[in-house]
Amino acid sequence: MFDLLERFQNMDRRWVFLGMALSILLPMLVPFSFPFQIDERVRSLYDAVEELDEGDIVFISADFDPGSRPELEPFYRANLHHLFRNDVKIVSATLWPSAPPLVLPIMQEIAEEYGKEYGKDWVFLGYKDGKELAIKAIGEDIPNAFPQDYQGTPLGELPIMKGIKKAKDFPLLISVSAGFPGTQAYVLQIQGQYNLKIASACTAVSGPDYIPYYKAGQLVGLSAGMPGSAHYEELVFPGDLKEGRLLLGIAGYNVLNLGHIFIVLLILAGNIAFFLTRPREDS
What does the domain layout of the chain look like in residue ranges? 2-30+254-282, 40-245
**Alpha-carbon distances of 96 from 42, 53, 84, 108, rounded to whole Å:** 24, 30, 24, 19
Select from 89, 79, 80 the least CA-distant residue to 122.
Answer: 89
Select from 180, 187, 224 the least CA-distant residue to 203.
Answer: 224
Strand 198-202 to 89-94 pairing: unpaired
* Cα 248 to Cα 276: distance, rounded to the nearest angstrom: 42
pTM (predicted TM-score):
0.85
133-137: long-range contacts, CB 8 A cutoff, minimum separation 24? 134/95, 134/181, 135/95, 135/181, 135/185, 135/186, 135/189, 135/190, 136/189, 136/190
CB 138 within 8 A of CB 125: no
* Cα 115 to Cα 88: distance, rounded to the nearest angstrom: 13
Q: How confident is the prediction along the chain (283 residues), in pLDDT tens digits per residue?
A: 667 777 777 888 888 888 888 888 877 777 667 778 999 999 999 999 999 999 999 999 999 999 999 999 999 999 999 999 999 999 999 999 999 999 999 999 999 999 999 999 999 999 999 999 999 999 999 999 999 999 999 999 999 999 999 999 999 999 999 999 999 999 999 999 999 999 999 999 999 999 999 999 999 999 999 999 999 999 999 876 776 677 888 887 777 778 878 889 888 888 888 787 776 444 4
Query: What's the CATH architecture for 40-245?
Result: 3-Layer(aba) Sandwich (3.40)
**How large is the angle between the packed helices 13-29 and 248-282, nearest 10 degrees?**
150
